[in-house]
Amino acid sequence: MSETKVAVIGLWHLGCTVSAGLADKGYLVTGIDFDKKIMHDLESNLPPLFEPGLADLIKKNKAKGRLNFTTDFKSALEKKKFIVIAFDTPVNSHDEPDMTVIYKACEKIAQFASDDCIIIIMSQVPIGSCRFLKQFMLKLRASMKCTIVYNPENIMLGQAIKKFLEPDRVIIGLEDVTVQRTVEDFYKVIDAPKFYMDLESAEMVKHATNAFLAMSISFINEIADMCEVTGADVRRVAAGLKADRRIGAQAFLSPGMGYAGGTLGRDIAILSNLGKLRSVKMHLINAVREVNQARQKKVIEKIKNSVGSLKNKKIAILGLTYKPGTSTLRRSMSVELAKKLLRAGARVKAFDPKITSPLKILENIQLATDAYSAVADVVAILLVTDWPEFKELDFAKIKKIAPKAVVVDCKNFLDSEGIKKNGFRYYGIGFNAK
């Protein structure tokens, strides 16, 4: 095991986690990326975004000589039996994947890799991509006898290391079953059930998993809307659903503003577009997307119903990142909501514990240094990212600096009773606060 050499191409969230994780299991890992800033920062053990424990894991394995980073693709790829493509596949504003950087990686593999290497694709790709990428490389170098393996990533922001090293299961798609023994050997360091299948089935497992999770979120949001008009409480409804073992305690049944971040949306978009291309009616998949797209509008309607026109009104957003436990703003629901509020004429202030300096993506959003300065003199306070520290906010203090504010809890996260006792109007998702 200690002599197994692995190259990992792509060093954002997924690639850094994979590199450090495999190195921690004893493999000799070389990481590389096209982004020079990422490579420069990794020299100081600094990953491109915050992930609990990741910087320390990188530092530990670099010190042990099991992990190194280089800007030289030739030295990174040559004589490596295993090459992992681990880019976090970018998506556009319509949640459609951009495969450009993955093709660039394949060009480098065709140029420098050994003929008989095993290429493990972990990046999320549309079904059919693995075989297409193989043909793309063969056109560049016909002598290659490389084999493609698809192991769709299964990590989560904020829990990436644990999810990678201790997953519920590992999906492995094989182009050539004759390499299964070698691939089994490679994955022995991950203690989890392994499911071996063809490439297309593995690609579809990823699409179907994320589509199912997205469907669950849209489902509970529709139930939440019905709860609001019937007097039911979606929090109690969700608890009752999760107690049914056919549904389960870990089900994605938390109402709010819908799914964000691009991950779930990417697979919904892929399946929707594939349905159009192959003339398969995707009624449910399309409905999931439609429900999700309407969530932010409903939150804005809650604010308007309470404070009237948003023009020149000060509104505070607590939490900007995609989710707690990370620093990424990529496809953040908070940022998208803030932009809609700005277009409606509102003046938006925001605070997030992991966003400490102005960024281009936050243009026209006033960034506060703490939660209290963010909420001062606003007419509405929106809790959007459920950072634990927001539970500790002193709403008696907030009442003094924002006496006219309403509180809209987009995560049903805050202490509604405590907030109301301090004289605030409180609005959650899926229940009427009496």
pLDDT per residue as tens digits for the range 200-229: 999 999 999 999 999 999 999 999 999 999
Domains and CATH numbers, the chain: 5-192 (3.40.50.720), 207-293 (1.10.1040.10), 296-427 (3.40.50.720)
pLDDT of the residue at 94 = 79
How high does pLDDT run on average in the chain?
Answer: 95
Beta bridge partners of 118: 82, 147
Distance CA 286, CA 280 (A): 12
pLDDT per residue as tens digits for the range 222-258: 999 999 999 999 999 999 999 999 999 999 999 999 9
Q: Is 147 left (phi over 0), alpha (psi -120 to 50) or beta?
A: beta
Distance CA 261, CA 93 (A): 11
pLDDT per residue as tens digits for the range 86-123: 999 988 877 889 999 999 999 999 999 999 999 999 99
Q: Is 83 left (phi over 0), alpha (psi -120 to 50) or beta?
A: beta
pLDDT per residue as tens digits for the range 257-310: 998 867 899 999 999 999 999 999 999 999 999 999 999 999 999 999 999 999
* Of 377, 276, 273, 367, residue with least CA distance to 321: 367
Look up residue 94 and give its two tokens: 């319509």
Higher pLDDT, 351 or 433: 351
Distance CA 41, CA 47 (A): 7
Residues of the chain with pLDDT > 70, as a percent, come to 99
pLDDT of the residue at 1 = 47
pLDDT per residue as tens digits for the range 179-206: 999 999 999 999 999 999 999 999 999 9
Global pTM value: 0.91
pLDDT per residue as tens digits for the range 348-370: 999 999 998 888 889 999 999 99
Higher pLDDT, 396 or 358: 396
Are the C-beta atoms of 108 and 9 separated by less than 8 Å?
yes
Other CB atoms within 10 A of residue 203 CB? 25
